[in-house]
Amino acid sequence: MIRKKKCIAMLLAGGQGSRLYALTNKIAKPAVSFGGKYRIIDFPLSNCVNSGIDTVGVLTQYQPLVLNDYIGNGQPWDLDRAFGGVHILSPYQGKHSSDWYKGTANAIYQNIHFIKQFDPDYVLVLSGDHIYKMNYSMMLNFHILNDADCTIAAINVPKEEASRFGILNTEENGVIYEFEEKPKKPKSTLASMGIYIFSAKKLYKYLEEDNNDPTSSNDFGKNILPKMLACGEKMMAYEFKGYWKDVGTINSLYEANMDLLGDKPKFDVSDTSWKIQSRSPLAPPQYLGEDAKSVNSIIMSGCEIYGTVENSVLASDVIIGKGAVIKNSIIMSDTTVGEGAKIEYSIIDERINIGKNAIVGEPESSGKGIAVLGSDIKVEEGAFIEGGKIIDKDFNKGGK
């Protein structure tokens, strides 16, 4: 028997995520923490494993240190395999040429040898910046049953938002006849989720052609898919019904975190039938002190809470001092909030030290937006950070 894989996944994780501002100063977007315990990349990786796909190439480019470290040998996802498993694919120096990844398609093209060594029949292309739980094997079955050349996962979005997405216009049987990138007057509300399954042979062919085309911007959405459609390949839309969120902006990242809260959360990460695996921190259980209060919140191990936490998400090893009040906020790991500090409607990154009685952010009703503090900074005692501000340097009382 020849060793081969039916389907392998290529995960595009090189994006800078510039719309996350200070949160991606030091790390790539897929490594941004989410939901107290996870990093964004845990979702596509866990989906792969839960869908029976055990070979994943992770294409990294921007600030890969934390991401590479986090993925490691893939053991937390059970992806440390002798044949297959998770592989980090960084841009490399070749004999004839060496290049950064010029676009999503170019990133895959440069690693075509990686794909070919598993001789897959199908290649699944994923983005590293979406929060969702999806069984890719159902999508693959759909692709095979329809004898498609390319299948694109799509989700119904509200009509008024449709003009923000890449829209798929399909016939009744799901065959795509037209793409529209951010149309002003959308004909349909079926938005592409940036998840593609290609029959491997077709993928090789179009990547090769795309690479030989000097005018191409080497992007799946802009070049490869329209070209395939124009050449009459069979392209299907696979409709996904479930929770899906592109967390590419501060607001959507905030919303996705808040969707975990509530008695019946919009998105449930504790569901054991579709476990989201992640690299777990080594920390003792969380401690809540005598005067602590924690309501409608998610809190991770290693935290010490002496103040009040409401409608918030706290990652591991966060310390909330006495009398401090955290409301409607996200606090990432190893951050310390001093006594009496107030945090409202904010995203606080890792390893931040917020001084006593400091005030960060203003209520959503102020209309100023979400305050964001980038990692590894200090906020002086008694300082005030306005709502909507993005801070990535030490902040003192004078407001500097």
CA distance 336 to 303: 10
Closest CA to 3 of 110, 104, 81, 112: 81
Q: Is 322 in the site for other proteins (CB under 8 A)?
A: no
CA atoms within 13 A on the CB side of 302: 16
- Residue found under tokens 């801070």: 391
Q: Is 81 in the site for other proteins (CB under 8 A)?
A: no
User: Do residues 168 and 192 touch, judged by C-beta distance below 8 A?
Assistant: yes
**Candidate ranges 127-135, 141-149, 237-245, 288-296; the one touching other proteins (CB under 8 A):** 288-296
Identify the sign of the CA torsion 39, 41, 44, 48. Answer: negative
Among 104, 294, 329, 346, binds other proteins (CB under 8 A): 294
Strand partners, 180: 167
Is residue 112 exposed (0-12), middle (13-18) or buried (19+ Cβ within 10 Å)?
middle
Q: Is 270 in the site for other proteins (CB under 8 A)?
A: yes
Q: Is 280 in the site for other proteins (CB under 8 A)?
A: yes
Binders of other proteins among residues 355 to 374 (CB under 8 A) are none
Among 20, 71, 269, 358, binds other proteins (CB under 8 A): 269
Q: Is 299 in the site for other proteins (CB under 8 A)?
A: yes
Q: Is 73 in the site for other proteins (CB under 8 A)?
A: no
Nearest approach, Cβ of 77 to other proteins (angstroms)? 10
Q: Count of residues binding other proteins (CB under 8 A)?
A: 39
Q: Is 284 in the site for other proteins (CB under 8 A)?
A: yes
Strand partners, 314: 299, 331
Q: Is 289 in the site for other proteins (CB under 8 A)?
A: yes
Q: Is 323 in the site for other proteins (CB under 8 A)?
A: no
Among 278, 328, 336, 346, binds other proteins (CB under 8 A): 278
Identify the sign of the CA torsion 116, 120, 123, 129. Answer: negative
Cα-based angle 83, 87, 93 (whole degrees, multiple of 5): 120
CA distance 357 to 341: 4
Closest CA to 344 of 317, 311, 315: 311
* Shorter beta-carbon distance to other proteins: residue 304 or 394: 304
**Candidate ranges 153-161, 250-258, 302-310, 361-369; the one touching other proteins (CB under 8 A):** 302-310
CA atoms within 13 A on the CB side of 343: 34
**Candidate ranges 15-23, 125-133, 230-238, 279-287; the one touching other proteins (CB under 8 A):** 279-287
Among 14, 15, 17, 35, binds other proteins (CB under 8 A): 35
Q: Is 330 in the site for other proteins (CB under 8 A)?
A: no
Q: Is 144 in the site for other proteins (CB under 8 A)?
A: no
Chain residues in the site for other proteins (CB under 8 A): 35-37, 75-76, 261, 263, 269-270, 275-278, 280, 282-302, 304, 309, 313, 315
